[in-house]
Structures are given as structure tokens and as C-alpha cells.
Amino acid sequence: MAILSDIDIKKYLEEELIIIDPLKDPERQIQPSSVDLRIGSEFKGFRIIRKPCIDPMDKSDIESYMESIHIEEGGSFIIHPGEFALATTYETVKIPSNLVARVEGRSSMGRLGITMHVTAGYIDPGFWGKITLEISNIGKMPVALYPGQRVCQIVFETMTSPSQKPYGHPDRDSKYMGQQRPETSKIKHDYELKSP
């Protein structure tokens, strides 16, 4: 696998093989081997619930464990130490079947103790939608996040050949295809957890 350079990223964008919409400021957002992405205005955080744990086999909806928060223009979302929240990129991204992508945090955010993805920074070939960010504050101080702020970067890698069944293929269980807002876990739909 090879990482696309800024030259190749621009070429893929011009040919609409990669779509990042809206790409507000290409000259500043396109980095030597990545594209900076901004955070959207919708967040989800866990409610205080009276359950011993989140059980993926529980028939209740995981969505009910979280609350949605919309930040108005000029406002900020404050993430406190030890907190976890979901958000999405402001941009909608489309990945072709011959590339994979990874979301990485920006160094400037990491130096504040903010991680932008807990484990799911990998984006399958064929995906399109807003990318869900799994944000944690592992620092000692609360940090303000502003909608439209550059918080992460997307890196593109070529595959040895195009995927035969990319994300979104009818034979795939593509639970998060086309997402436009922060989506809670859909783990209860995993085939190994479904009741017979």
C-alpha cells in the first residue's frame, strides 16, 4: 500500500474519484499527505443511566443511552477530562473502491489531550457519508471544540487492486453507509449477536 501525496490527492479530487464536500479551503486543508477535516455541529454524549453496563445483546436501543446536542454558530462543545462524545466531520467524504482511508487526529488537538478516534479510524473502500469521530479527553482540563474547526486529517492509501465488494455492496452489512450525523453503535445488528 502507498499513501497518496498532495499531488495525487488533488488529482483524485479533480477527477471526482475522491469527494470531500464541501472542501472550503483546499490550499490550506490539503497537507503533504492528508486533508484536514473540520468538525460538524452535532454531538452525542452518554446520559447517566442506571444500568450496570452497556450490553450489545440487550434488546433495548443503545441510542437511548445517548443524548444529542446541537451547537449553534459561534458556540462550542466542551469536552471534560474522562468524557467521551461522538461527532461527525463537517465534510461528506466518498472513497473509491481502490483506496482505503484513515482518520488521524491533528497534532495540535493531541497536544491538548483530545483524541479524535478511539479505535475506528479506518474507512473502507466504497464508503460515503460524514465520518463519525469518537472523541475523548484524556487530558486534565476541559477543552472547547468549535463547529468548523479543523480537528482531524484523512489519509488515503492505494490497495493492491480494487475491492470486489466495497462498503455499501448489497452483500455487505454496511450499517453506517451514508450517515449524515453522529451515529451510535449498531453493534446489536452484528450477525454474531443476532438471535437465531
Binding-site positions for dCTP: 106-111, 124, 132-134, 153, 167, 175, 179
Per-position DSSP letters for 107-150, written without gaps between them: HHHHTTTEES-SS--EE-TT-EEEEEEEEEE-SSS-EEE-TT-E
Any idea of the CA torsion for 85, 91, 92, 96, to the nearest 10 degrees? -110
Cell numbers standing for residue 97: 473502491
Quick check: 157 and 104 in contact, CB under 8 A?
A: no
CB atoms within 10 A of CB 133: 26
Which entry of 42, 134, 157, 192 is annotated as an active-site residue?
134
Binding-site residues, in ranges, read 106-111, 124, 132-134, 153, 167, 175, 179
Has 134 been annotated as catalytic?
yes
CA dist 47 and 66 (Å) reads 5
Active site residue ranges: 134
